[in-house]
């Protein structure tokens, strides 16, 4: 990503900290560009190279001129360069300062790097525009966070979900910290995380949502005592918002569709990519966010997922976010991600990846039972894999496409036994009421649930004399996999005779 940005941006100079100088030099060699590199120490400020005097002057410019070039997270491919204007940056910052009720007496603890748009437009500029001040630690340290808040008299801070998790795992209490509020954005915040943070630290944690192309925050939950709705990203901040269907027709409150935005902070366009700009921003200035969601009657918005990330299972759209929220309700689950995988019969099937909390244990079928109860069997993942971490980009956003490219663990090897498979398939047809099942069909994907699984097991007991536990259906949910379990038990019984 760094080599791509250096090759694409056309910048003649790059400033880099000593610790990252070698990495930057390697990226420049890969980019194939002659860029002047100035190594500096962020803790001591900018130092001109020896023998060179600064000749910089402030040129006059208009509000519509290009002010910055930020790169997207690259969650679906190579990052795109987003051009933002001076007017747009200020408009977004002013809206946040107003929404957060910032005054000259406020001081922010900025925990994000300034190459992150969230840090510039959502933390640094709003604080300075309101006459306040900003504390910039060299790096995030969960142990030092509350110490810095107290030492410097900080009244608010901008976080991302990963930092919220690390604070919750730390030993700090936040008691008497003086924080009026903290805000969390850049990735979805689980309701359980938000509640845990507020209960533990006695500090309101408001969720916000934006995108690089919007140039600022799009939605933000209001500060207390105003109403904050669980699961909502809040209300629009200085931007016009519409929700439309696939044909561009505006939808009423409560109906999910694509979220469109328009306003002063929206980007000028993608750098050197007019085709991509035209694909996302129409002639009337409406930016197609790619986010799927809806607004309620009170103007609060809810995000259900990304349009490109929708799983199309048996012709039905399934939002990964709904599955992830269900999985996250289990106390052992730290975070979860659901993706669609190719399936011969369904088009796409659902699998999920789960990161457990430290020291926690949980069985796959326990999570599947939870999903079935919360969102129904159709949306329940066929497979759930435990992983150490989910892949994320530099800004902390989930890179779902990398999960979809992962090689899944090998399934239970099939054993050829047509009579057993026919018997299992016949029992499925009887209890599910479907016209056809194949060897790789999933019992739960076809509408099965615990009661029907029990009925199916009883039929197999009567017809084949096997005594399978209910857990066998969750552990081997396809016809071929369950046939292996049946055949193994039949062979075991035969061997004991």
Distance CA 451, CA 475 (A): 16
CA angle (218 as vertex; 178, 246 as ends), nearest 5: 150
Q: Do residues 147 and 285 both lie within one domain?
A: yes
Instruction: Give 107's contacts (C-beta < 8 A, 6+ positions apart).
Output: 127, 132, 133, 134, 135, 152, 153, 154, 155, 156
First to last CA, the chain: 65
How many whole angstroms separate alpha carbon 152 and alpha carbon 381? Answer: 47
Give the pLDDT confidence of 458-467 residue by residue, as tens digits.
Answer: 888 888 888 8
Answer whether residue 475 is part of any domain: yes
Q: Cα 130 to chain center, whole Å?
A: 31
Q: Quick one: 300 and 325 in the same domain?
A: no
Q: Is residue 13, in this structure, part of any structural domain at all?
A: yes
Instruction: Identify the H or E element spanning 25.
Output: helix 21-31
pTM over 0.75: no
Q: Does one domain contain both 237 and 278? A: yes
CA atoms within 13 A on the CB side of 410: 3
Q: What CATH number is attached to the domain comprising 376?
A: 3.30.300.30
Per-residue pLDDT for the chain (497 aa), expressed as one digit of tens each? 788 999 999 999 998 988 889 999 999 999 999 999 988 877 776 666 666 656 666 778 899 999 999 988 665 567 899 999 999 999 999 999 999 999 999 999 999 888 888 899 999 999 999 999 999 998 899 989 999 999 999 999 999 888 898 898 888 877 778 899 999 998 788 888 899 999 999 999 999 999 999 997 999 999 999 999 988 999 999 999 999 998 999 999 999 999 999 999 999 999 999 999 999 999 999 999 999 899 999 999 999 888 878 888 876 778 888 899 899 999 889 999 999 888 766 778 899 999 988 888 888 888 988 998 888 888 899 889 988 889 887 667 788 878 877 755 433 333 445 778 888 888 888 888 887 888 878 888 888 888 888 888 888 888 888 888 888 888 888 888 888 888 877 766 544 44
Contact 215, 121 (CB under 8 A): yes
Distance of alpha carbon 75 from alpha carbon 400, whole angstroms: 7
List the Cα angle 270/273/279 in 5-degree steps. 80
76 and 18 part of one domain: no
What is the spatial distance between Cα 38 and Cα 206, in angstroms, rounded to a whole number?
38
- Is the domain of 84 the same as that of 233? yes
Per-state percent for the chain, helix, strand, coil, to nearest 5: 35, 25, 40
Identify whether 348 is part of a domain: yes
160 & 226 share domain: yes
Last residue of a domain, one of 11, 39, 57: 57
Residue 409 lies in a domain: no
Q: Considering its fold, how many domains does the chain have in total?
A: 4
| CB-count exposure of residue 457 (10 Å: 0-12, 13-18, 19+) | buried
Q: Any idea what DSSP says for residue 315?
A: T
Whether 228 and 317 map to the same domain: the answer is no
Tokens 């099937």, residue located:
349
Listed residue (117, 371, 361, 95) closest to 238, CA to CA:
95
Q: What is the mean pLDDT of the chain?
A: 86
Give the per-residue pLDDT at 487.
Answer: 80
Whole-angstrom Cα distance, residue 320 to residue 331?
19
Asked if the structure places residue 410 within a domain, the reply is no
Q: Are 313 and 381 in contact (CB under 8 A)?
A: no
Burial (CB count within 10 angstroms: exposed 0-12, middle 13-18, buried 19+), residue 336: buried
Q: Which two tokens stand for residue 257?
A: 């569709």
- Residues 372, 456 within the same domain: no
- C-alpha span between 300 and 226 (Å, rounded): 12
Which residue, 246, 281, 305, sits at the end of a domain? 305
**176 plus 272 within the same structural domain:** yes
Question: What's the domain range around 477?
Answer: 418-496
Same domain, 396 and 337: yes
Phi–psi pair at 454, nearest 5 degrees: -65, -45
**Do residues 432 and 446 make contact, with C-beta atoms less than 8 angstroms apart?**
yes
Cα distance between residue 169 and residue 357, in whole Å: 10
Helical H runs in 100-203? 117-119, 125-129, 142-152, 161-169, 191-201
279-296: per-residue pLDDT in tens?
A: 999 999 999 999 989 999
Please tell me whether residues 7 and 107 are part of one structural domain: no
- The answer to whether residue 164 is domain-embedded is yes
Quick one: which of 220, 240, 238 has its CA closest to 300? 220
Cβ 366 vs Cβ 357: under 8 Å: no
Query: Residue 96 in contact with residue 123, Cβ under 8 Å?
Result: no
Q: What is the DSSP letter of 435?
A: S
pLDDT in tens, 53-103: 566 667 788 999 999 999 886 655 678 999 999 999 999 999 999 999 999
| Domain-ending residue, one of 355, 380, 404 | 404
Angle in degrees, 0-180, between the axes of helices 191-201 and 161-169, rounded to the nearest 10: 50
Cα separations in angstroms, 411 against 168, 440, 475, 480: 37, 11, 11, 10
Does 215 share its domain with 255?
yes
**Is position 413 within any domain?**
no
| Residue 21 domain flag | yes
Q: Other C-beta atoms within 10 Å of 115: how many?
A: 12
The CATH number given to whatever domain includes residue 430 is 1.10.1200.10
Q: Say if residue 18 is exposed, middle or buried (CB neighbours under 10 Å; 0-12, 13-18, 19+).
A: exposed
DSSP letter string, 189-214:
PPHHHHHHHHHHH---EEEEEEEGGG
């Amino acid at each position: 990503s760094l080599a791509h940005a250096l090759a694409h941006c056309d910048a003649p100079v790059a400033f880099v900290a000593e610790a990252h100088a070698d990495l930057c030099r390697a990226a420049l060699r890969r980019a194939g560009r002659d860029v002047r590199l100035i190594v500096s120490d962020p803790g001591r400020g900018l130092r001109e190279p020896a023998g060179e005097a600064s000749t910089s002057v402030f040129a006059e410019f208009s509000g519509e001129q290009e002010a910055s070039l930020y790169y997207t997270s690259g969650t679906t491919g190579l990052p795109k360069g987003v051009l933002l204007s001076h007017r747009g940056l200020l408009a977004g910052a002013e809206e946040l300062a107003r929404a957060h009720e910032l005054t000259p007496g406020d001081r922010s603890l900025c925990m994000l790097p300034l190459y992150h748009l969230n840090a510039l437009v959502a933390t640094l500029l709003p604080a300075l525009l309101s006459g306040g001040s900003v504390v910039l630690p060299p790096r995030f340290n969960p142990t030092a966070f509350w110490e810095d808040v107290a030492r410097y008299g900080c009244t608010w801070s901008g976080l991302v979900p990963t930092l919220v998790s690390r604070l919750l795992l730390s030993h700090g209490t936040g008691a008497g910290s003086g924080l009026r509020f903290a805000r969390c954005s850049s990735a979805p915040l689980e309701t359980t995380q938000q509640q845990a943070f507020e209960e533990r630290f006695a500090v309101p944690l408001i969720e916000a949502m934006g995108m690089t192309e919007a140039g600022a925050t799009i939605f933000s939950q209001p500060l207390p005592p105003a109403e904050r709705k669980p699961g909502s990203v809040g209300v629009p901040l200085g931007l016009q918002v519409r929700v439309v269907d696939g044909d561009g027709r505006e939808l009423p409150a409560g109906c999910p569709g694509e979220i469109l935005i328009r306003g002063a902070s929206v980007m000028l366009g993608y750098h050197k990519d007019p085709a991509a700009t035209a694909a996302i921003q129409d002639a009337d200035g409406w930016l197609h966010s790619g986010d799927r969601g809806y607004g309620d009657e009170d103007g609060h918005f809810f995000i259900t997922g990304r349009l490109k990330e929708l799983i199309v299972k048996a012709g039905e759209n399934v939002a990964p976010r709904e599955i992830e929220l269900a999985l996250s309700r289990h106390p052992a689950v730290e975070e979860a991600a659901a993706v669609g995988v190719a399936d011969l019969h369904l088009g796409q099937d659902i699998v999920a990846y789960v990161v457990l909390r430290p020291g926690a244990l949980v069985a796959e079928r326990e999570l599947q039972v939870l999903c079935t109860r919360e969102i129904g069997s159709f949306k329940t993942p066929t497979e759930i894999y435990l992983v150490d971490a989910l892949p994320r980009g530099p800004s902390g956003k989930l890179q779902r496409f990398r999960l979809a490219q992962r090689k899944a663990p090998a399934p239970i090897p099939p054993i050829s036994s047509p009579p057993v498979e026919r018997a299992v398939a016949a029992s499925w047809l009887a209890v599910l009421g479907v016209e056809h099942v194949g060897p790789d069909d999933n019992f739960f994907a076809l509408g099965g649930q615990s009661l029907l699984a029990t009925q199916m097991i009883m039929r197999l007991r009567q017809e084949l004399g096997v005594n399978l536990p209910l857990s066998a259906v969750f552990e081997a949910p396809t016809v071929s996999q369950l046939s292996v379990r049946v055949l193994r038990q039949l062979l075991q019984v035969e061997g004991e005779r």
